[in-house]
Amino acid sequence: MQKKHIAVLGSTGSIGVQTLDVIRMNPNLLTAEVLTAHNNAALLIAQAIEFLPNVVVITNEDKYHQVKKALSEYPVKVYAGYPALAQITDMETVDLVVTAVVGSVGLEPTLAAIEAGKPVAIANKETLVVAGKLITESARRKGVNLYPIDSEHSAIAQCIAGEHQNKIKKILLTASGGPFRGFSYQQLQAVTPEQALNHPTWNMGAKISIDSASMMNKGLEVIEAHWLFNVAPENIQVVLHPQSIIHSMVEFFDGSVKAQLGDPDMRVPIQYALTYPARIAANFTNFNIFDHSPLTFEIPDTKNFRNLALAFEALHKGGNSPCILNAANEVAVDAFLNRKIPFTGIPELIEFCLENVSFIDNPSFTALLETDKETRIVATKKIR
């Protein structure tokens, strides 16, 4: 395997930190060429000093001078602002772009990387949710590979490897159920941000943890799976699997079902994406199936966990509906974390926005940006 130079967009977040862990353990195969962060200047500086990338970007321009001064004695170029995210993906020295930024801010640099002919390892699920059609059409046109980093989509990709001639009958997308699996609506009304941030099996960032607790994370992954694997919404089924050992399954038309199993460690799918098609040794996991028996499965509760049903509805409606869903959810999660709305207010706000934001059947990139902006305005006014 030839050494790959990696651009890690969002290197200070949960996925970014674990991506650097994989790079750290494979210095002969992987190197960090670009690191970016929004607000965590201190960690970005520490990462830059350790990995000595060619470029770092701090998108919060107020922190540019702090980063620039701290790295002045090192051979590292420092840039600031969101436009720089898209610009650095065009660097000739970058072999693979990892989009690990949180939220719809990942859309523009992902499109820029694809247009530059760079393969993309996608951890930013909002990109495919907001603009799945644009992203996948662009990737096909440019002949660019998209490598999913989500454990579920990585599992699906591994299950269909070598099956290009065989059509998928159904995707079985597994979900842990989060910390509130089995809760009644009344119990969910009393949920606090601290409780929602305490995921039983995965160590994730704040926004993803809340999405997992509300089942929106799985709803977004359903939309992702539709675009990544060209499977109709009715052929995607969510299965609760509390142990998080089977990361997803694929059913074929002969009745066979393939599953990918492994420890709930995000470094496994990250390494698979960074080193594909090679499978290299991983010294951070030693999976033993007997440590995880029994494995159980349940049907999700879409009545009390309304977000999952809303995601399916947005996907079926199409157009800019998934964009509305995503933007409303980002506002709702922030409002919940700041105790402005209850946990059950998250799906209520999303449903309100789906009903009140202008619908566009076949949106352009500009129209999606406008939809995102309009949705945030509508959602914020509703909270007030």
- Indicate the domain borders of the chain: 4-148, 153-317
**The pairing of beta strand 55-58 with beta strand 30-37:** parallel
SS3 161: coil
* Phi and psi, residue 30, nearest 5°: -135, 145
Residue 200: its pLDDT value, please?
66
* Range 316-320 average pLDDT: 96
The string of pLDDT tens digits covering residues 167-181 is 999 999 999 998 999
Mean pLDDT, the chain, rounded, equals 94
Structure-token pair, residue 13 = 């977040």
Task: Note whether 291 and 166 are within 8 A (CB).
Answer: no
Tell me how far apart the alpha carbons of residues 256 and 204 are, in angstroms, rounded to a whole number. 33
* Phi and psi, residue 170, nearest 5°: -155, 140
Residue 193: its pLDDT value, please?
94
* Range 61-83 average pLDDT: 97
Residue 103: its pLDDT value, please?
72
The string of pLDDT tens digits covering residues 112-149 is 999 999 999 999 888 899 999 999 999 999 999 999 99
- For helices 216-229 and 125-142, what crossing angle results, to 10°? 10
Q: Is the pLDDT of residue 54 over 90?
A: yes
The string of pLDDT tens digits covering residues 246-291 is 999 999 999 999 999 999 999 999 999 999 999 999 988 888 999 9
The string of pLDDT tens digits covering residues 178-235 is 899 999 999 999 999 999 998 766 666 788 889 999 999 999 999 999 999 999 999 9
Tell me how far apart the alpha carbons of residues 252 and 131 are, in angstroms, rounded to a whole number. 28
> 195 or 106, which is more confident?
195
Q: Is the pLDDT of residue 239 over 70?
A: yes
Residue 208: its pLDDT value, please?
85
Handedness of CA 18, 147, 360, 172 (dihedral sign): negative
SS3 38: coil
The percentage of the chain sitting over the pLDDT mark of 70, rounded to a whole number, equals 99
* β-pair partners for 175: 240
Is the domain covering 4-148 a CATH 3.40.50.720 domain? yes
Tell me how far apart the alpha carbons of residues 372 and 323 are, in angstroms, rounded to a whole number. 6
The type of residue at 359 is F
> Among 119-133, 213-227, 301-315, 364-378, whose mean pLDDT is lowest?
119-133
Residue that the structure tokens 């998108």 belong to: 59
- Judge if the upstream peptide bond of residue 277 is cis by omega within 30 degrees of 0: yes
Residue that the structure tokens 């650095």 belong to: 88
SS3 11: coil
Residue 202: its pLDDT value, please?
62
